[in-house]
Amino acid sequence: MSDAGLAVIGVTACNQELGLHPFNIVGEKYLLAIADATKGWPLVIPALGHCPSELILPRLDGILFTGSPSNIEPHHFQGEASEADTHHDPKRDATTLPLLKAAIEAGIPVLAICRGFQEMNVVYGGSLHQKLHQVGGFIEHREDKSTAVEVQYGISHEVQIEPGGLLHDAWGRSSAEVNSVHTQGVDRLGVGLRPEAYAPDGLVEAFSIKEAKNFALGVQWHPEWKVLNNAFYTSIFNAFSDACERRAKRRVR
């Protein structure tokens, strides 16, 4: 294992202006999920608009691609221009999209959550509905922002889990209940992605990468939220942790 006895797990940051200066920030819930629910320690990967993946990937045992208030710029998936008030983060796009592809090719275990899930779909040639609630045929996937955060991240709907995949192997059951705090969703599924779970309206809410050399799972919901209080969410982080621990042991031989 690594020198500190822990797997080193990268966590992607967002680039956001606070006051007069740009900051690289990560939601604490993602860092706590790594610290509390894995045998690893988080290391923040800044969104500077570039990333020397050939230098950092050999030093990492896994990467968590986080959720974010921002959306991927639609030109990355040949989508129509987004509405003027849409929150984008071009430096994150320029950092995480190539990093995700490089991590998968290098056999780094990857867990991608919400925006990270959407990044994975886009990297593999998929596209996104920018506003699911305007498409028709979908249930309400957005949170009620007028409620307390515990309500916003509370259980929202069930997902049906496909047999034989990473998610089913981790959980051992064919369904689970999840939260739902997203506006965008999968339109066209990326090439080589295997659906792992569906929402009641048929929306793909989890997938894995068929030809990945290691653990590579994307989920649309937020399993990092109070992960230790939810057995399903814990099972996801346990599976990710096991893959990171195996890589850590190999990396330091």
- In a domain, residue 52? The reply is yes
Active site residue 87: no
Write phi, then psi, for 8 (nearest 5 degrees).
Answer: -95, 115
Return the amino acid letter for 251. R
d(CA 26, CA 15): 9
In a domain, 24, yes or no: yes
Give strand ranges (E) for 83-122.
110-113
Query: How deeply is 80 buried, as exposed, middle or buried, from its count of CB atoms within 10 A (0-12, 13-18, 19+)?
Result: exposed
Examine the residue annotation and report whether 224 is marked as an active-site residue of this protein: yes
- What does the alpha-carbon distance between residue 10 and residue 46 come to, in Å, rounded to a whole number? 10
**Catalytic residue, candidates 141, 182, 222, 244:** 222
Q: How many domains does the chain have?
A: 1
Q: Could you give the percent of the chain with pLDDT greater than 90?
A: 92
CA 168 to each of CA 20, 217, 229: distance values in angstroms, whole numbers, following the listed order: 46, 12, 19
Q: Per-residue confidence at 4, pLDDT binned at 50, 70, 90?
A: low
Identify the active-site residue in 114, 182, 196, 205.
Answer: 114
Distances (CA, A) of 109 to 81, 152, 163, 178, 228: 33, 29, 21, 23, 21
Please pick, among 162, 196, 205, 224, the residue that the annotation labels catalytic.
Answer: 224
Residue 19: give the domain boundaries. Answer: 7-251
The model's pLDDT over 66-118, given as tens digits with 9 standing for 90+, comes to 999 999 999 999 998 988 888 999 999 999 999 999 999 999 999 999 999 99
pLDDT score of 2: 42
Q: What is the pTM of this model?
A: 0.96
In a domain, 95, yes or no: yes
Is 2 part of any domain? no
69 and 86 Cβ atoms separated by less than 8 Å:
no
Residue 82: the pLDDT is 87
Residues 136-164, buried b or exposed e (16+ Cβ, 10 A)? eebeebebeeeeeeeebbbebbebebbee
Q: Does 1 fall in a domain?
A: no
Residues in the chain, total = 253
Q: What is the reported pLDDT for 1?
A: 43
CATH number of the CATH domain containing 15? 3.40.50.880
